[in-house]
Amino acid sequence: MTLVTPLRAQDRALTLVALGDSLTAGYGLPADAAFPVQLEAALKAKGHAVTVANAGVSGDTATGGLDRVAWSVPDGTDGVILELGANDMLRGTDPAVTEKALDGIIATLKARGIPVLLAGMRAAPNLGPDYGRRFDAIYPRLAERYGLVLYPFFLDGIAGDRSLNLPDGLHPTRAGVARVVAGILPSVETFLTRLRKGS
């Protein structure tokens, strides 16, 4: 008789959901070039048993994310990568409104026992220094408030680089997404370590 050893918590495949806007959804790109797909491939290449679901909606705001978080993040999700706020910033939304919505998303997920990795955004310079200070402070403050893993700027290394963005200058190309993945990967691995310890 063969005894089957139960799967250890650290061996169990983890399910992440990337909750975001067009930067997550993969606007203007083939499905296999979207951030969640490239991130999952990069994690698997490093030996992580993980799936990353794409819950990105182009044009979504932080408030929109709050409205759909209940059905965008199904039960059984081990962790969420939260990437929202860029559209709020582009529309000049009051940073207090954005922060309240992001706080609501994080609190809702926390109540469900689902940890969050927060992917930050930064304000465009043309919005002025006052707006920039107020907007840029949202993400570090929320990360500190909730003890989250924070990746400070989702578009780090590609913002403003024409070679890594589509002609609109706002959305990354396949290569741009690969750069995003390379940048955020250490933070996601830290997040996975936390998830494993909490399993």
Q: Which amino acids are annotated catalytic?
A: 22, 168, 171
> How many CB atoms lie under 10 A from the CB of residue 183?
17
- Written as six digits, the tokens of 129 are 């220094």
Mapped onto helix, strand or coil, the DSSP state of residue 159 is coil
To the nearest 10°, the Cα dihedral for 98, 104, 105, 108? 180
Q: Given CA atoms 177, 180, 186, 187 in this order, what sign does their dihedral have?
A: negative
DSSP per-residue codes, 51-74: EEEEEE-TT--HHHHHHHHHHHS-
Contact 100, 140 (CB under 8 A): no
Q: Phi-psi category of 134—alpha, beta or left, where left has phi over 0 and alpha has psi -120 to 50? A: alpha
